[in-house]
Structure 1
Amino acid sequence: MRKILITTGGSGGHVIPAKIIYEHLSNDFDIFFSTDLRGFKFFSSENYKIEIINTPKIRFNIFFPINLIKLIYLIAKSIFFLKKEKIDKVISIGGYMSLPVIIASKILGLIIILIEPNMVLGRGNRFFLNFAKKILCYSDNIYNFPKKHIHKIELIKPLVSKSFYDLRADKNLNNKFCFLIVGGSQGAKIFDELIKDVIFDIAKKFSIKIIQQTSKENIDNLKKFYDDKNIENQIFDFEKKFHQIINFSDLCITRAGASSLAEMSLLNKPFIAIPLPSAKDDHQLENANFYLGKGCCWVLDQKTLSHDKLLEFLLNLLNNKSELVDKKSNLEKLNYNNSWSDINKKLVRAINEN
């Protein structure tokens, strides 16, 4: 069986697509991962073959000489690992965490395939494109993409775990209107502080349920707030069965990480995206605009968002649900003919090509 290394790390935005690639390829290839320590926590206790390549950020400061020595060591470590395990091809989800592995792969003459889940080309992938054979993207209209490498783009549907495809037939699960609030793997303090008060005001007029992600430290406080207001709630920090949580919702309020939006889209759940203002190169805004352009969501600017503005917006949606129906219809059109098997065949074919 041919051996593939998937190099990833950092946030869930890099690790989740890597794990979905594993789902697609593990029956046809022997899969290894490399990740830094930040990314390792997203693998939990599952039985993966993982090599820790804890890449430092290379910045021109007093730590630059030390980090440069670390980088050279990690390149050597990556070369040794790739040769020892007889890796045939390398797949990178981007990010500086993959730098030693990509350089080592180039030195060894291995085929490198990139994945870009965002609508803005990441800085890591922009550099890695010089060494890669192809890059798999969700659109051929990626911001900051160099024209000289445009021929390397190969289009795929957004990467979503098979568990989401298995739930797509479920409908009308609630007797109360259910909000799902998701801050993403990096959290969202504004969701804890602003949205809970808006939900309380909505609950005075409508029968609702709230499912909300927060930090582990804030779970008890947030649950007590909703319990004291007699609002049905489910509060969590990380949930392995996240596909089931999304499936129970009627409307999602979310950051705009590529994986989260793809998951909500696949389950035909209308969502309000509030992009993270500090996201590199504003990639979350462009992710959200991709779905906004297809009539599948709403996009709100955190910088101008207030309690009254959000409350008015949500009350208008609940008083006139035709907009929700339209968004759901557009999501169904977007996901027409989107099947796990089709994506699987395309990925396997892309990996097998020399």
Structure 2
Amino acid sequence: MKSDKKSKLIILTAGGTGGHVYPADALAQELSERGYRLMLVTDKRGQNNYRGKLGEIENRAVLSGALVGKSKWFKIKSLVKLAIGTLQSMWIIARSRPCCVVGFGGYASFPCSVAAILLGKDLIIHEQNSVMSRTNRFLAKYATVAATSFPRTKYAPAGRCSVQTGMPVRNSISRLFEQEYTPSSETNPFNLLILGGSQGAKIFGNVIPQAIKQLPPELQKRLNITQQCRRDDVESLQKEYENSLCRTTISHFFDNMPELYANCHLIISRAGASSVSEIAAAGIPSILVPLPTAADDHQTFNAAEFKNKEGGLVIAQKDFTEQRLSEILTFLIKNPSKLSEMSINTKKFAITDADKRLASLIEKQLKRG
């Protein structure tokens, strides 16, 4: 059986941001373990962002372009790039003869996904967010099946063409699901992890240090803060914390996320699909601040699903003030039993075998074909 699978190639195609990278990488690992050959098709930007299993497999770069929120001439240029990228993808598919194409959204996935449709190849798409992206909305009309992360995904096709598999999460993080949350006692350090993302780091850098300074001194002294921010903001953010009593570790990138998740007591984060899925898998209490400018406001919908399980607190960005955050942090740090309750509820959102579910869905479609 395994030798038969070795003759089957599956093409994965995805954009280069973390929300597309991590689920694609988790699926690549699972499919590889099942004996499939894999190829990644993305754009030049995407090639630079892929690590893990995706960084090991054969990859191809094609032209692509975004069509949203730009000038008329930019859109025309993007359309030309997409057309060329589709032709490039058709050539790649014709030469490599994959059994199917799996798309994870993002404009870099569009050319290869369209090429699969034009050449009559099975196309399986995966939507990470609770609101289907415009790219996936178009592709879903022609895809063999659309897999979703959330039980209720806005704009997902109805009927058997839409299947909830959950959001594939890296194995190193999904394994944390079995770890029991241990709250910090009154005399021990309290580990706060802050994940702003490239689009969320600025307001987090403005609000959070000032909120920390408003905490009672005895609480400040307990805090170990690990904060991710933009590369250009590392030095200025360090200065923001200078007059506080907490200990800080600030960087634009952390390569030890499983360790950080395992040791933290509370997370402040945006509400991207990868973020909320990893938080749920690790069972960490959270304060979510949806990015209001996210496409179709999908982060607000993501956070709402999370909030429904009572696993995290959600603060709209307009309400994310120093005073409000300081009050919430004071309450949570002083009430470890509340954090334990939030951890239990957070795990109710998790689907830790989403990579296996998605891989099995793909195999099911291949058998039908």
- Equivalent pair of 2:183/2:336 in contact (CA under 8 Å): no
User: In the alignment, does 2:149 pair up with 1:138?
Assistant: yes
Deviation at 1:318, TM superposition (A): 2.3
**Which contiguous aligned blocks of 4+ residues in structure 1 show a shift greater than 6 angstroms?**
none
Over 3 Å counting, the alpha-carbon distance change for 1:311 and 1:339 in structure 2 is closer
Deviation at 1:64, TM superposition (A): 4.4
Over 3 Å counting, the alpha-carbon distance change for 1:63 and 1:168 in structure 2 is closer
RMSD of equivalent CA atoms: 2.2
Which of 291, 294, 304 is residue 306 of structure 2 equivalent to?
Answer: 291
Alignment correspondent of 1:320: 335
Over 3 Å counting, the alpha-carbon distance change for 1:16 and 1:339 in structure 2 is closer
Q: How does 1:30-49 map to 2 (within 5 A)?
A: 30-44=37-51, 46-49=55-58
User: In the alignment, does 2:267 pair up with 1:252?
Assistant: yes
Q: Which structure carries more relative contact order (alpha carbon 8 Å, separation 6+)?
A: 2
- Give me the whole-angstrom Cα distance separating, in 2, the residues matched to 1:323 and 1:152: 40
Q: Deviations over 1:122-177 (max 9, x none)?
A: 1111100111011111234112334xx43211121322100013334445496311
Over 3 Å counting, the alpha-carbon distance change for 1:63 and 1:192 in structure 2 is closer
| Gap regions ≥5 residues in structure 2 | 1-5
Which moved further from structure 2: 53-62 or 107-116? Answer: 53-62
Alignment correspondent of 1:162: 171
Q: TM-score, normalised by structure 1?
A: 0.91
- Equivalent pair of 1:14/1:93 in contact (CA under 8 Å): yes
Over 3 Å counting, the alpha-carbon distance change for 1:16 and 1:232 in structure 2 is same
- Equivalent pair of 1:115/1:137 in contact (CA under 8 Å): yes
Q: Deviations over 1:270-298 (max 9, x none)?
A: 10100001000010011111110011111
- Give me the whole-angstrom Cα distance separating, in 1, the residues matched to 2:36 and 2:292: 39
Deviation at 1:339, TM superposition (A): 4.5
User: In the alignment, does 2:326 pair up with 1:311?
Assistant: yes
Alignment correspondent of 2:3: none
User: In the alignment, does 2:190 pair up with 1:184?
Assistant: no
- Give me the whole-angstrom Cα distance separating, in 2, the residues matched to 1:18 and 1:86: 20
Which moved further from structure 2: 125-134 or 225-234? Answer: 225-234
**What one-letter code is carried by the residue in structure 2 that aligns with 1:153?**
S
- Equivalent pair of 1:253/1:274 in contact (CA under 8 Å): yes
User: In the alignment, does 2:23 pair up with 1:17?
Assistant: yes
Determine which structure has the larger helix proportion and give its number.
2
Secondary structure of 1:167's aligned partner: helix
Q: Deviations over 1:4-48 (max 9, x none)?
A: 111111422122211111121112211111112332232158323
Alignment correspondent of 1:98: 109
Q: TM-score, normalised by structure 2?
A: 0.87
- Equivalent pair of 1:118/1:287 in contact (CA under 8 Å): yes
Q: Deviations over 1:214-263 (max 9, x none)?
A: 11222233334435534212212112221211221101000001111111
User: In the alignment, does 2:233 pair up with 1:223?
Assistant: no
Secondary structure of 2:167's aligned partner: coil
- Give me the whole-angstrom Cα distance separating, in 2, the residues matched to 1:163 and 1:173: 22
Q: How does 1:330-345 map to 2 (within 5 A)?
A: 330-335=345-350, 338-340=351-353, 343-345=354-356
**What one-letter code is carried by the residue in structure 2 that aligns with 1:202?**
L
- Give me the whole-angstrom Cα distance separating, in 1, the residues matched to 2:275 and 2:74: 35
| Gap regions ≥5 residues in structure 1 | none
Alignment correspondent of 1:6: 12
- Equivalent pair of 2:183/2:340 in contact (CA under 8 Å): no
Which moved further from structure 2: 56-65 or 299-308? Answer: 56-65
User: How many residues in Structure 1 have an aligned counterpart in Structure 2?
Assistant: 348
Secondary structure of 1:256's aligned partner: coil
- Give me the whole-angstrom Cα distance separating, in 2, the residues matched to 1:172 and 1:283: 31
- Give me the whole-angstrom Cα distance separating, in 1, the residues matched to 2:251 and 2:151: 36
- Equivalent pair of 2:15/2:108 in contact (CA under 8 Å): yes
**What one-letter code is carried by the residue in structure 2 that aligns with 1:158?**
M
- Equivalent pair of 2:193/2:264 in contact (CA under 8 Å): yes
